[in-house]
Each structure stands twice: as C-alpha cells, then as structure tokens.
Structure 1
Amino acid sequence: MSNSGSFQRGPGASADAERGARQQQGSRPTPGKVTRTSKLRPVQAKRGGADGGAAAAGAGGGGAAGGGGGLPGGLKTGIESLSGVSMDGVKVHYNSPRPAHVGALAYAQGSDIHVGPGQEQHLPHEAWHVVQQAQGRVASTTQMKGVELNDDAGLEREADVMGAKALAMGGSEAAATSAGPAASGPVQAVRNPDFGGVVVQRFGSLEHKTLGDRPTGSAEYDMGGHTAESDADAYNAAFRLTHGDIIMLSGDFFSPRDTRMNEQGVEEPDPDSLFRIAGTPSRSPGQTVGSWDEVVYAIKKAMPNDDRFQPASLPGFPDGHPWASVRFSADVMAAVDARYLRRAASNDEHFVAPTGTDRGPTAGDRASAGGSYRALHEVAIQMAYDEGTAATAMAREAAAQHFLTDHFASGHLRTPRTSIRAHWQAIYPLFWDNIRNKIALDVATWINDNENLGYLASVDQIYTDIQTQVVEATADIPPMGFDDLVSLVTHDFDNENGLWVTNDLGESWKLFGDGNLDSADPDNRTREMSELAVSLGNADIEAAAQMGANKGDTPLSAAELFDSVRSITGAPASAGVKYGPEQVLPRLDSARASENGSSNWQQSSMDELWQAQVTSATAATYGSEITASMQGGELQHELAGMAEKFPESQDVMGVFTVRPRQAFLDGFLGPLVANPRTGLQSILDFSPSRGQAGFNEDDAVMREIEGEDGAGGMSDEQLGGLTMNQRAERIRALIGGWTGEDEGEVVIRIFETTPAGDRARLYEMVEGHPWTGNWREGFFVVDDDIWDALYESQLERLRDIIGH
C-alpha cells in the first residue's frame, strides 16, 4: 500500500525466453508448504515459434554457469539512454545451456542474461527485459518445470521495439557480441538503483492508481501550468494528473499537505508538498528540481509502462505525448528518490493502528490512516465549500484518499508499526550500526582473502578504510532496524493470507493487501469496498461544493459544515457521526477471531521470534517467513540494492585493482542469504575482532569503543545497547593478550554499562564459571583471565561493580 512500514516490495525479475521448435515436456512440481513462488524473482524468456513472449522466475535464481561479460558498449549506451536505468552490473552469458531448461532460446533474470548457442540476435530484446525487471514491472503468470513464467504480451512487444531502438542508437558497436563468457564471476543479486536499502510496504502503485481511476473514470485535474516562450511550451502548457495518479503519489512520494510543523513547533511551508511541486512548471523538461519534473519522474518510476511514456512508434498508443521524450537529470531523480526514502522511514500514519489500538477517525492528523484521512478529507470539504466548486477540492480529496485506501490493506489493519519499532529497537538498538560495520568487515575480509593485498594490508587496515566508505555511502539511507524485518513479515503475512473483517454497514468479507488486492479468494471484496469508499468520499466533496454555491451571506462554520455533510451522506451509508467513506472502513471481525488468529511479534529475542508462529492461526513461523523473504524475496532484494553503493572496481596504490561490489555480494550477502538465521545472529552479535589476526583483535575493539585521534568511539548509551554476546566477545578480545591500563578501563566500562542484574552472567560468559563474589585466583585453581589482565586497583573497582 503506501510507504507503509519501513518496507517496500521490491521489483520483480524477468526472463525472456524464446521457446525452440521442440517444446520440452514435464509436469509441474507441487509447491511445498514453505515454498512461496510469489516471492521469487521472475524470469523473462524469449520464446521461439508462434507462442510470443514469456517471463519466467526460477526458484533457484542466481548465478550463471561459467561467468559472464557486460553488454556490448553501444547496446549498453542505447538501453541506458532510453530507460535511464544503469546497465553497469548486467552480465551476459553466451552459449549458456540454461535457456533450454525452460524451453527457451534466451532469457533474462535479474542482472543476468543467458543466451543460448547461436542466439545472440535476441540480446537487445533481453536487455530491455532487464530494464523492465529493474523497474518492478514483471510478475509471474504461469509455470514451467518449477519455474515461474510471465506471459505478458505487452512486455514482449515493448522489449521488441525498445531493444531494436537501443540497437539502432548504439550503431555497429551495439550489435557486436562475444562468442564466449568473460572471466568475471556472475552477479548474484538483482538491484534497484533508486530505492535500494530501505524496506517499504505499500499497495502496489498500480493498485493505488486503479482504486482512484476506476470509480472516477480516470478524472483529470489541472495542477497548474502556463505557456512559456521556449521549447518547453508543449510540456508546460498544462499539467494534469488523474485521480488515481494523485492517490498513488500522495503520502509515498510527496506530502499531501502544504505546510508542516518544524522542530520549534512553528508551522512552515512543506518542501515536499505534492501540490506545490506539481504546480511549478519546468524551465527545461526533465531537468528542474522542485518542478513538476519530479512528479513526472515519480510516475515513471512507479508506472514505467504508462501510456504517457510510450513513444508514438509503438503500435496501439496515441500519437505523441510530451512525457514520452523527457530525459531526467540526475538531480531530479536524486531529489525524488531521497524524498521517497525519507517518507518510507517515517510512515506510521499509513497504518490503521500503529500503536496497537484502532482509534479510527478520531486518532488525529498524522496519527494513523484513519486520523489522517479524516483531517485531509475535511480540508477538501472546506475548500469545496469556500470555492463553491469541486474542481480544486477533488484533487485534495484524491490526496487524502491515499490514507483511505491504505485502510483497506490487510497488512495495515493490525500491524502495530510504532509498537513493533519501540519493542525491537529497545532489544537491538545497534542493528543499523552493526549491519554497516559487518558489511565493512566482511568486505575487508573477502578482499584480503581473494585479492593480492594480503602482504600490503591487514584485514584491520582494509576494514578501517572500508568502514569509512560504508558510512559515507549509506548516509542517505534511512536506518534499517531489526523491527523493520519483524514488521515486514507481520505485514506481508496478513496481506497474503487475508483477514476476516466487517464494517459499520454490516458487511463481512476477507480483506487482502499490498500486491494481493485482486486475490482470487472467493471471499475477497477488497477492491469493491475500497472503490465504494472512494466514491462516497468524492460525493462528500460534491455535496460541500453545492452547499458553498448556495451559501448566501451567512456561511456555515467549519463544525456546521462538517455536520451538514455527514447528515446527507449517500447510501449505503447513513447520517451519523462518521462520514460516508468512514462507514465502509474495515475492522477485524470478532466473530472470525479464531480464523484471524493473533500476531506473535512480541518476543524477547531473535531466538524466540524465530520459533514463534506468525499468528496463532497458522503453523508458519517468523523464522520460515524471514528465510523465504531472504532467499529470493523482498529482504534479499532490498539488501542487494545496497551493492550499488560499492564500485565495481577500485584501484589501490595505482598497482592493484580490487572488487568491492563483488566483495559485498560474496562476502556479506551470499552467506546471509545461504543461512539467514546464522547471518542475522552474526549481525546482532557483530564484533570488529572477528576475522582479524590475533594481535589486531584488541586494537579493533579499542578503536571501536574509544575512537581514534579524537574521533569516533561509543557513548555509554551505545555500549548499553550491546547484546550480551557482544559484550563478552569484546572483553575476551581485550584481555586475550597483553592488556594495557587503557584496555582495562574499557573492560570496566563494558561492565558498568551492562544492566546490574546481568553483570554476574557476563562474568560467567567470559570466564566459564559462576561469579561467587570475588576473583578466582591462587595456587590450586586456574586464575581468572580478567584477574590476570587488569591492574589491582581496576580489579577492586570491577569487583564492586559486579557485586559481592
């Protein structure tokens, strides 16, 4: 639905395969209970014969046999110019046996293109499928031999046309192909250059858009415009958005409000305002930050296959549209992408009960989906009344309806986003720091093990440099917490499986959510009820406009106006304290409570969460769902997006070349995907001493906690966020060799910042036996390692800290 959690459903992959004359036969395997092919990356395959195109998503996904080289330079340039999507990470695997496995001549999956022997002519077509996948437009529609296929003829037609156009733009160089694979290893992860690294949950953009366009007949609203004396005349003559466009853009990409409260509590203009940005013409189409160029780019990112972006040469599309030829500047794209990430990181108002209690419309503006809709709906009502027309106010109502339609996503109905965040951030407050530090250490270790740097630099030296780069590269990414993973699974599970709900109209149905709006479940009425609510909301605006046109000399007060609108609400709603659309809003059906079950997100540790059922009504556990999302699903995609933060290659001392991006994929992401539970635990328990030579372990810990050259270090509050395993491992590193007085002081700090009730247990984790009130030392016992390492005065202080 909207930037609903902190999570976003990632783009699909595609495989374009041309089926050969001889079709391979085979029965489809029955999916197992844990297998969820909807989470897997689609594969698009170019098929031979008359079947047309198809897309397939392999269950295994992944690497290409024999490695692969990049796209030919001319073709690469043509594809990037037409799409605006970087092809830097694309690998082409020539003479590949894999297409034959799905009855194809060639296919694309993620960033890998597999071309069968002698089928190089399909490379431009396949390259455009990589674009479609990166833009999130490919979903599986059928299956062959356990592989999910997409038989979307529109995508195939587009790939034919755009691939040919890219080839023509690139000239003879674009057509040049290699007879064999290059020596570099396969790229293993799909990436999204725009939204990598943050996890977002929302209705799909198409879902949001259709919920507004269908009830209104795609009504359009003039957002402002003028005719300038420049080449931008046609583009700037008028700027119109449909009802569905505005629902889709509001909340996720832009603010539906014109003002905001700053940190001082003073109201000020909102720089993210959809209506301000959409009302500002562009000085140069596609190039002007703060203008409606940003809106057009956001629509293209959300709906790249929209007719308005199709060139006139494509059959079936209208002749020419000012948006079709627009090329966006890096600044415009960065502005939209950064805003999207900011809004995704703070989106509790997209949930019905973010703190666990549904307070409905009375929650207040920005407090919940219901509260935000009520506030924005009344802004639109007041505008319609004041102006005596619905022309402008209806666009405001569309912006409000983003939150109205959010209310109809089952994953938003009972996921307590705020409460989940508070609960898990209190348990694992350092998750974001840990994940960035672990990325740096894993990348450093991989480079040390796989590149020719071992005799020039240690893991510790490489880690120090990489860590700085990681912090700088991720500065624009909102922090990802362990709570995001928990919210993602909780949210997605309800969206996919549905919830039994009812409403004030006495209707009972099964509600589905993001990506499942049109689920084939016979009890699904999500679209019907959502569109009814949208229609009733629009009727309120029309009613207010009619009242305003006849208000005379004594206008109604705001309270009188709102009461009047509620009193004449249309059927099937009825007059009351709620507006018509609010009477359609779903709530959990208490009569079906056993079927809905209750969520079990509130555990005390990852170990407990891993074993816990997602809800009391299912056997699926958080562990199985996190694993499914990490292995070919949303979490893997989002983490893989961070690969873009690392360069493909980097020179060292002008002599050596290292591969930071491959180090991220193979050193960090690969092991995490292969074993999510172990990988997550290693993030939670991260220690900079791991992978270091023994003499560097204490130095790494000292630099982490105390900083270096007056910079860095950890506060007592940060130390208090360490897990018990992290504390014990750091102490063992500090006392493992010769221990200086400064290192002894850090050991004391670690104990001091440990909760008093856990200090004796920390001692036992370090020493291997219980604390008895004093140090174990003497002729007839093995001395405590802490006793051997610290100075006498330090031991006395530490003994008092642990407790007698």
Structure 2
Amino acid sequence: MNDALLYEAFASHFLTDAYAGGHLRTPRAAVGDWWNPKVPMFWTNLQLWMAEVIARHINDHSVAGYLQTVQQLYEAAQDTLRKVTAKMPVLTFGDAISGALHDIDNELGVEAMVGAAVVKLVGDGQLIDAKGRALVAGVPTAQKASAGVAASLKEVRDAFAAGAKGSSPAAAVAAIRLPDGLFRAEQLWPRALADSDPQQSNPGRNWRVAGVEDLFRNKRMREALTHFAHEKADTLGAEVTLDPPFKADKTMALKEAVLDQLKGSEATVIGVLREVINYTPGSATGQTGGVFGHDEDDDALSYYRAAKLKGSLGTLTLVQRRRLVRAVLSGSTTGAEDTMVSDLLVSATPADATAVLDDVGWRWVWNDLSGDDLRRVVDVAGPAFWARRSFAQKKAEVGFLAGGRTDDISQRAIIVILRTCAGPAEVRAIDASVGWPGLDFDLTGAYQTQFDTLKR
C-alpha cells in the first residue's frame, strides 16, 4: 500500500495542476511550434540586450565606466550572463507567449465545468498569500482540487481493499471504473467553457497570428505579455547574480536597466520585447551596429554568424537586416563581410531585400561586393529591386554597366534589369541610349541570346 500511496502522491501534483486556470487551455507545445520558428533568436537576443543595457548603465552611472570602454563592459557582461543563464531554462519566444497565457489565466481565472458544476478556477498566487493564508478568490479552486485528489485517493484504497480480498488486479480496477469507462477523478477533470459560452468571463486570447506586430496589436495579448514580464522580472532578479568587481554597480544596472523595464507600463514592456526581437549589437544604445560605435563591424559579423549557425537568417527582421548591412558596409569589407551582406539580402523576402537596398543603395552593394557574393545578390534580390525602379533609373544603371568593363556579372545585371522593363519598346530604348553599337557590343553568349529575345 505504501508504494501505491507514494505513486499517488506524485501523481496528485499533476492532478492538482489540472485545476489551475493557467493549465486548462494553454497549448504550450502548439504555441512553441508556431512561434519558435518565427523568432528563433529570442533567447540569444535577450541575453545580448541585457548585456548591452547593463554596459550602458555602468558606463553612464559608475566609476567602472571610466576604467573600461563600453565594448569591454559589454563583453564582460556577456560572459557573466552566459555563465548565469547556463543554469537557467532557455526562454524561447514560444515560452514567453505560453507563459503569458498561463499567467494571465491563473490571475483572472477561467470558468470550467468540474463534474456538474461551473467554477471559476484560478492558480498560483491566487490561492494563498505569502503567509500561507487562503485567498477568497482561490477557495473554489482549492475545494475542487481537493475533491479530485480525495476521489483519486479513495480509488487507490478501494483497489487495494479489493486486492486484499482476493480480487485480481484487473478485477480490482474494473470494479472501481465507472460505467462511462472513466475513474471518478477523471470525471471531475476540469474542462474550460468555450469562449462563446455566456458564463465564460475570460475568453481565450488569439495567439495564432501571422507575425509579432499582429500579436502586439492585440490589446488582450499586450495585457498578458505585460503581466508575464512583471512575473519574469521577479524570477530574473532572484536568479541572476553578477560577480565582482563593482558588483554593487552591476546589480544596480541589472535592476534599473533590465528589471525595472520589464516591470514597467504596458507600453514599456512591449517596447522592450520589440527591442529584443529586433536586436543587433549596438541597437539598445541607439547606434547602428556595435556598442557605442566600438567594433561595429566585428559585433555585426559575430551576430550574423550566430544567426547563421542556428539556421535563423531567414527569420531576421527588416530592422535587423538594415542595421547589420549598414554596420559592415560603413567600412571596408572583407570576404566574410561580403558573404554576410549577400546572405542577408538573399535570405530576405523580396520586399525586405528591396527595402534594404533602398536604404543602402544598389550601387553601394555593387561596389563593395564581388564574385559569387555579388552574383547571388544580382540573381536573387535584383529582379524584385529593379522591378520597382523607374525607366529612367533602369536606363541610367544599364548605361553605367555598359560604360565599363562588361564582365560576366555586369552582363548578368544588365539582363536582370532589362527583364523588368515594360516590354520590347523599353528594352530597345535603353539599348539606343547607350550609344552605337548598343548592347550588342557588351553582351556575349547566352546573355546576347536573351537580349535578342527581350528586344523583339
């Protein structure tokens, strides 16, 4: 019997969880499956964002800011946070969404059918206060959970008694199973009322939307995310301990730059989440890459590599792509940085790639990249970009390309541009604009063949 009661006690933990409002309808797996592929860099971004805002705070408010550069403070904060967060569960964006749904339903309660009665079930801090005293709002939940545990315990004892009288295990189980095939504790399992039920005072929140901004536009999701951030701030405050030197300064930076922001108003919390999702090195300090302008291209390249390693380049936001591309194009580019710019453009949607090229300029990319990196941009991002240019812009670019050495990539770009013309008349007009003997002088092989087809 003792073994049976030990198993029952362990199982009762999960049984009582079933009576918490936040466990009635929070589909954690489904939420994760939906959101984690959309925002796979969330945990990485959160740690880097925390490191950067802590570094900024120390730089602005501590004597440590006079002894180290912001970049050094940033790198030191990263090292510390990596050690601390290695002991913590990973927080994905799906976890944040499901946690928000869970916490707000525990707070506000969810009407559910328990047996034949409709009861508002709450959870967590709504049952007892910090001194262990029962709260009024949680009494019905505690009563129903206790009844469920009592019913389950009685079935264990009844099965043991039947066995003691000589029943086989199968017969003992069959004797306590009810006509509908369930055990009594299963019959009492709570079932949330539908959102459409007039007795449901807290309808579910629509988390299955296309993108993050759609989520943020939903007032009830903003409310839930704000509540979750407030709770998470307390958890982080208890779990994150920063090491000497200047431990007091670092702890104050953590409180004021991170925890106080997470415990701020709804607008502040949503602003922080948006900043984390769109994070690139330097963005939390208002720079366009790199922390306070230090190591701008190196920090951008490091972030790009981390995203590529996770297979997450395709999920980067337009804001991130613009910052990262500008960060490396602002100076002379190396082979690795050329590949980075190319990857960021070809992994983007056509609209986002065009927006980045609008921002930095096609010619800037053309002049900085070369070889396969440039060829990929021409082939993948070029068609959408040039489709949105005017006839005059197309004519000017073809003239520029034809006026220089028309190597393979130049010929390729000319054909990409001509394909976006409105028809043969525009192609012939551009051909005429480059002067005698026209593009026939610049194009060879397959490119000449394609040109002949386009101008007919």
Q: TM-score, normalised by structure 1?
A: 0.42
> What letter matches 1:767 in structure 2?
D
SS, match of residue 510 in structure 1 = strand
The residue aligned with 1:513 is 123
> What letter matches 2:257 in structure 1?
G
> What letter matches 2:368 in structure 1?
A
Q: What do residues 674-708 of structure 1 show as CA deviations (whole Å, max 9, x unaligned)? A: 421221111111111334344621121123334xx
Could you list the structure 1 runs, at least 4 aligned residues long, displaced by more than 6 angstroms after superposition: none
1:480 and 2:91 correspond: yes
C-alpha change, 1:398 and 1:713, in structure 2 (3 Å) is closer
Q: What do residues 9-67 of structure 1 show as CA deviations (whole Å, max 9, x unaligned)? A: xxxxxxxxxxxxxxxxxxxxxxxxxxxxxxxxxxxxxxxxxxxxxxxxxxxxxxxxxxx
Query: 2:324 aligned to 730, 747, 761, which one?
Result: 730
C-alpha change, 1:679 and 1:752, in structure 2 (3 Å) is same
Following superposition, the deviation at residue 658 of structure 1 comes to 8.1
Range 659-668 or range 529-538, more displaced: 659-668
Query: 1:749 aligned to 340, 343, 353, which one?
Result: 343
Query: What CA RMSD, in Å, does the superposition of the two structures yield over aligned residues?
Result: 2.9
1:636 and 2:233 correspond: yes
The residue aligned with 1:790 is 369
Query: 2:359 aligned to 757, 768, 773, which one?
Result: 768
Following superposition, the deviation at residue 508 of structure 1 comes to 2.8
1:538 and 2:153 correspond: yes
Q: What do residues 558-613 of structure 1 show as CA deviations (whole Å, max 9, x unaligned)? A: 544321221xxxxxxx5440111111112134596244233312223332222314
SS, match of residue 312 in structure 2 = helix
> Is the 1:427–1:604 Cα contact (8 Å) retained in structure 2?
no
Matches within 5 A, 1:417-428: 417-428=28-39
Whole-angstrom CA distance in 2 between matches of 1:543 and 1:669: 52
Q: What do residues 314-354 of structure 1 show as CA deviations (whole Å, max 9, x unaligned)? A: xxxxxxxxxxxxxxxxxxxxxxxxxxxxxxxxxxxxxxxxx
Q: How many residues align?
A: 366
The residue aligned with 2:275 is 682
Q: Gapped runs of 5+ residues in structure 2? A: 128-133, 286-290, 384-456
C-alpha change, 1:728 and 1:595, in structure 2 (3 Å) is farther
Q: What do residues 638-674 of structure 1 show as CA deviations (whole Å, max 9, x unaligned)? A: 23234x4212x406xxxxx983222222333344444
C-alpha change, 1:500 and 1:747, in structure 2 (3 Å) is same
C-alpha change, 1:415 and 1:793, in structure 2 (3 Å) is closer
Matches within 5 A, 1:449-598: 449-452=60-63, 457-503=68-114, 505-517=115-127, 520=136, 525-551=140-166, 556=168, 558-566=169-177, 574-589=178-193, 593-596=197-200, 597-598=203-204
Q: Gapped runs of 5+ residues in structure 1? A: 1-389, 567-573, 614-620, 652-656, 707-711, 770-774, 777-783
SS, match of residue 509 in structure 1 = strand
C-alpha change, 1:591 and 1:664, in structure 2 (3 Å) is closer
Following superposition, the deviation at residue 436 of structure 1 comes to 0.8
> What letter matches 2:190 in structure 1?
P
Whole-angstrom CA distance in 1 between matches of 2:270 and 2:209: 16
Q: What do residues 748-774 of structure 1 show as CA deviations (whole Å, max 9, x unaligned)? A: 1223443xxx144233135239xxxxx
Q: What do residues 522-541 of structure 1 show as CA deviations (whole Å, max 9, x unaligned)? A: 9x733332222222212111
Q: TM-score, normalised by structure 2?
A: 0.72
Q: What do residues 201-257 of structure 1 show as CA deviations (whole Å, max 9, x unaligned)? A: xxxxxxxxxxxxxxxxxxxxxxxxxxxxxxxxxxxxxxxxxxxxxxxxxxxxxxxxx
> Is the 2:353–2:381 Cα contact (8 Å) retained in structure 1?
no
1:739 and 2:339 correspond: no
C-alpha change, 1:785 and 1:594, in structure 2 (3 Å) is farther
> Is the 2:71–2:294 Cα contact (8 Å) retained in structure 1?
no
Matches within 5 A, 1:362-511: 390-452=1-63, 457-503=68-114, 505-511=115-121
Q: What do residues 448-504 of structure 1 show as CA deviations (whole Å, max 9, x unaligned)? A: 33344566543223322332222122111111122233223312222233323224x
The residue aligned with 1:288 is none
The residue aligned with 2:410 is none
SS, match of residue 401 in structure 1 = helix
Matches within 5 A, 1:176-187: none
> Is the 1:411–1:513 Cα contact (8 Å) retained in structure 2?
yes
Whole-angstrom CA distance in 1 between matches of 2:262 and 2:190: 38
Flag the structure with higher strand content: 1
> What letter matches 1:409 in structure 2?
A
SS, match of residue 477 in structure 1 = coil
Flag the structure with higher helix content: 2
> Is the 2:22–2:101 Cα contact (8 Å) retained in structure 1?
yes
The residue aligned with 2:245 is 650
